[in-house]
Structure 1
């Protein structure tokens, strides 16, 4: 095998098919089949999107020709490469190098290309005048582009005057001069519309062509993930993508009207599988080029910035490195930056919770730092008041100071002190249980002390009420109610709750009458649904509805009445027939038993043969009456 006498050097932005055709013209070969045999050792007239048996051509070219770079920059690999997985890219290269015919339809991104070779009239004229020949520009073959980015003219695949194809379907015959095969000079017959040319997708597609720096799908997905992380659309650990928030933000950013112009419906953006496929590095994932352009611009502000900048995806330290403040007003170090340690916890990837503990008083509190807003929440959640506070509460409580007075002295809330007192009592109970010798004495003392406290408060109360008594001595009241309920019920004033006795038999009879009237009304409206027990209860007045829901066991007659008035399935199927027939007629469909089952499968889908015959006869009667 000898070297070729010559091989054309590709022009700027020239399609590789045009390079092959120029070799064909300059070599003087009569057919493209002869040219293909010379270059690729293949017997075929076709000049495909991507060549095959490239090794054969490479062995005939001098070392100065870097064929791999030519294929990368002058074929469709330049555009579909960023959307191909590593496996797809390697598979495609293997097919190009060997005699296998590359099947572009099997690879992601192949639809980005125009099916017919397209030309710009001004590019044809300029190339012919300056170079003496025309060639096909690779950029013009991107399907998303409608206009030449240099001359702002519409791209043509057919002659604008006689509509004849400018290139053959197999691309074995391309343009060598700015004239079609009928001799017509190719020029734009319409005035340039700058608004159409500057449509967003045209501009963004050109930005992508000029700035894309990634070589395969993995690099592209890694780049997108970095931007998504920088913008806070991943959890802190990066394990979960906030898809719903991302979809809502994209729709809000562009607006429904523009998305319709871009042919990207909002339902597609909100679909659970859309972003999963967009961010997948595996094969056989659909590539929506327009949506990728929108996503690049949404994340980085522009497509150029998306590829040129390198987002860091770094997290600031929540609440800094310290020291932090103690908020315990009892602590001598109150409101001073004395806390030098904290513990951070990841809460489901949505926020970081910092826990701070004062080394002096033991006061412990938590604050939250939210992701992805990167904002601190100044609200404080107290975990523990600390040993210093507890000891002071226990000392004052042992001296007989009330909870309200303790709260005032310690400059805190009543509830906080009450919790500490309850904790003290629980600890006392545990100690009593563990010490069996002292158990009886301690328990008796507790009963006596709390009973005495209850009796003393009852004597001084002008109007004895349980609520007022509990407010006066909550610890004694709650403990005795749990451990000495019999004595409490005898001693306490009578409870006002449920003081009026309900005659359930009388109410049951009254409810039966109300249920019957309600059901009669519902049946008279002929509703388009089956009248069930729940539907009848829903229409009852609130008073009756709540009673039967809360105490169904006390109203046996009412339950029986509801079961009797519940509509049978067969009765509903027959009752609903006129409405079913009317709805099918409104859709201009033929009314048959089959069409009824098809339009109302939940109602008529599983009917028996016997009932089906009955319903068919009813349908015939309804149609005969001209319903």
Structure 2
């Protein structure tokens, strides 16, 4: 057991602590240091996710506990937040034991397109502060995170040192020094919003390291994402993601330059990370990509991991505001529904008491008095009506009842009439005024809906009337019911390219499609990394006429005959992949060997005998040609 050990600094890598121990111990070889700390010389000096921590704890005594060591001085919390719960648990166990060879594979780092930084990074301002405070500096965790180019403390650009995170000696410990050679990273001229994004990524990365975020279950994050997609109209109410709208919005928000810096460019394909991250999580995604999605959906880590739940109307139960109820102003309401106001996007709470009284108000509540506020009474309920009946039967005057129930006289008259109560007062003389007010209110509502309808057309000039209707169904329905003529006059007119009686010349259309199909086949797989199979579907997509080919195939005989002729079955496609692979190997000057063809062509060993014979034949032909 070692008799002393350096005190770790805030956010210091365990690797950095061990490096400082190595220097102060005066050991001539890093293996001596490794043996002193771990009890054996074979442990590698891994900077981010080290293993054999049980052995280290044993040799350093009660200096710290395992949880403190992993969460505060390794990169584990940065990755663990977005791992599946069981996966995060296994990674922690592997770090405690001697299973270091499995950690980076399990975490998905080996297969990730987001690569680690090659060298250690530092902040000049942090180094200056360290020298003034501690008399030495150290390697910080946050500065080594992929995608972190700004110091979250000083908000200045980080600098890359010449110290490699993978030293040629896998047992070496390199200590940080104030004089370490370093250079500023060339990120080009960034716009203000790009710099803001990169700084936000740095801050969020630091939060990951300093807060123990963990998923509750395998799809808790995905479920949160889906709700946010629905709220932002990137998914339908039943959860189907609108990929075209999603990708369009994502590319509009983030510049190509930033996505390249963050190693997270997107392509509109099924296997793209931006598509798969919203599907059920069967594998992990790099933290950078989760942080980008969070920024895109205007949310944060605390919301995703339920660290601070959002309660726009405070925590329940809530107050009953029915003056006729015995529980008036008591916290008895447990039933609340929260929706979002269409125009202001602010929360609207609807509260329902057991007395039948239902009221709503727009939030969020800001001060203590807001909880006593009623925006709209949606239902007075059976208790209120029963109390009104009793008050009328007791012979109370309209003024007394109005004051007791805190309702205007017109409301009391209205409900007394609905309940068919025998009242002493006369029929209201303000009927005409009420009608007039109703007419004026309708006109105001109509005007508001008309302005909204015209505004949505300005925002989406290319959309048809039907498409606009889907965007604002409530506005359309109101105008349709109350002023259908105006709606027809001020809606997009469908452009009719053909006259109503014009018939499609299917023979000509067939010839045009055939020409497109032939052109597509001639250029098939031109200048691509790997071939794709020729099928009716892939051909239709290639010429952007899949729907016509599927729905009108009987009217397109020449095109369909051509498609049937050139379409490939699996064996034919595999043979073409082999030929494509051989051509590539020849261009690169590589030998034509069977195992290499299988690997390059992505073929398994259990392909059909016909394909196996074809590969053997090609290899034989190559060898014969080279032996001449």
TM-score relative to the length of structure 2: 0.45
